[in-house]
Structure 1
Amino acid sequence: MSETDLKIHIYDKEIICPICNSKFNVKIVKVNSPRITSKDSDFFIRYRVINPYFYDVWVCNSCGYSAIKADFPKIKSHQKDIILNEITRKWRPHNFPENLTVPDAINRYKLALVNSMAINATNSSIAMIFLKLGWMFRLNEDIEKENLFLNQSLQYFLKSFSLENFPIYGMQRDSFSYLIGDLYRRTNKSEEALRWYSTVITTVGASVKVKELARTGKDIINKKY
């Protein structure tokens, strides 16, 4: 995509870093620009024209603080010192292009992961970064690395299921349970996947759409074996 075409689909937004108070611009994808082509069973959306996932991580080039945009302002006071001591002290500014690619997105999600691990972020926050890294490697058709990151995501989602209150990243308990089941299936743990799918299907009050997704997941496993 040319720079001229890119400017049709993104705009700059000035924000203030909650760590160092520096002002910097982030790229925001316009709401109507992405075109959905399909959706994968683990909620990954495939886009054409421009991919919003590439711009989902905000990076402060002054101090190195990096996080998914939904979590960027949610830093706690005691975590600021951790970032300054463990991230900023070693930070070297990164020169990312405006027109981000899959490798750029992977690097940005990895920066967010390092930050989230350093501040001991919530399990769901870490899980979401791992999940989106898995999705980026899916775009790269790197199955081995995709499965590696999906498995890490699964482990942290399991912890968050027990410890955190719903909704989590917009997901209610039924959607969250389904996602766990689907990640089990995608990482070749069929028995666990079937157990979580069945829980969703038999849950009173679970949405009809999510129950149908769980039934589809069960059918995939049953046909495989």
Structure 2
Amino acid sequence: MNALYATKVNCPYCGNDFQTLRVRYRHSIPYKIDSDFCPHYKEGDSNPHFYYAKVCPECGFAFTEEFSDNFPLGTKELIKVKITAEWRKKEFGQVRDVEKAIESLKLAIYSATLKREKHSVLGGLCMRLAWIYRTENRQEEEERFMKLALQEYEESYVHSDFKGTSLSEIRVLFILGELSRRLGQFSKAISYFSKIAEHPRRYEETKILEMARKQWRVTAEQNREHH
């Protein structure tokens, strides 16, 4: 049975219907998951993050299921000038290699920025791109997008724009702590992990609470070594 299957989607920007590929769940079970939720797949297995962004072949607008249906005033005109006017018809509906996956996520980040999508959505896109770079051992690019993800999640936390998404405040705090730790910002990481330990709803997410306690200890040790 093929790991990939085609699904029909509608472009929220131009209304065009097109086909994109998705990965069947049983073909995308990671053999390990890093402390920041980055999944690793066996050689030959399909990485669902390669197909996370859908790219309209007609207009070049790229989006995910997390995008809202709403286009704030002026954003459609901006997308038309910045993306569609420059777009040369390209097909992303076939099997994607790593370069095509990177290109699709970069297009989605650009589309989300122009559309003024939620910071939590932008953070998720930057994080997934960092993960792809990690599995390719491209450290400089991985760090670049981890920094961008950290900035977006910090904005999301400050403005609580993750509300109404699959993210809870505790999960956002954990992501902030772990991204800060991986970027060598140890005191900031300790502060975020401590916020989880003191959070009034911490016992509703005991798994994240345990992970935060563990990563707090790891970070404190790293901080000591660093000084």
Q: How many residues align?
A: 218
Please say if 1:163 is aligned against 2:152. Answer: no
What amino acid is aligned across from residue 9 of structure 1 in structure 2?
Answer: A
Gaps of 5+ in 2: none
Counterpart in the other structure of 1:209: 207
Query: Is the Cα–Cα contact under 8 Å of residues 124 and 168 in structure 1 kept in the other structure?
Result: no
Per-residue Cα deviation, 1:195-216 (whole angstroms, up to 9, x for no partner): 1111111223212111111111
TM-score by length of structure 2 reads: 0.88
Query: Is the Cα–Cα contact under 8 Å of residues 120 and 161 in structure 2 kept in the other structure?
Result: no
- 4+ long deviations beyond 4 Å: none
Please say if 1:88 is aligned against 2:84. Answer: yes
Per-residue Cα deviation, 1:116-158 (whole angstroms, up to 9, x for no partner): 1222222122221111111111011111211111011101111
Counterpart in the other structure of 1:136: 132
Counterpart in the other structure of 1:33: 27
- With 61-70 and 190-199 compared, the bigger mean Cα shift is at 61-70
What amino acid is aligned across from residue 100 of structure 1 in structure 2?
Answer: R
What amino acid is aligned across from residue 108 of structure 2 in structure 1?
Answer: A
Deviation at 1:176, TM superposition (A): 0.9
Counterpart in the other structure of 1:22: 16
Counterpart in the other structure of 1:120: 116
Identity across the alignment (%): 24
**CA distance in 1: counterparts of 2:101 and 2:20, whole angstroms:** 14
Per-residue Cα deviation, 1:147-198 (whole angstroms, up to 9, x for no partner): 1110111011111111134446412111111110111001100000001111
What amino acid is aligned across from residue 82 of structure 2 in structure 1?
Answer: E
Residue pairs, 1:1-225, within 5 angstroms: 8-48=2-42, 49-71=45-67, 74-76=69-71, 78=73, 79-96=75-92, 98-167=94-163, 169-206=165-202, 207-224=205-222, 225=224
Query: Is the Cα–Cα contact under 8 Å of residues 181 and 194 in structure 1 kept in the other structure?
Result: yes
Query: Is the Cα–Cα contact under 8 Å of residues 102 and 139 in structure 1 kept in the other structure?
Result: no
**CA distance in 2: counterparts of 1:33 and 1:190, whole angstroms:** 36
Gaps of 5+ in 1: 1-6
Secondary structure at the counterpart of residue 32 of structure 1: helix
Secondary structure at the counterpart of residue 35 of structure 1: coil
TM-score by length of structure 1 reads: 0.89
**CA distance in 2: counterparts of 1:204 and 1:36, whole angstroms:** 32
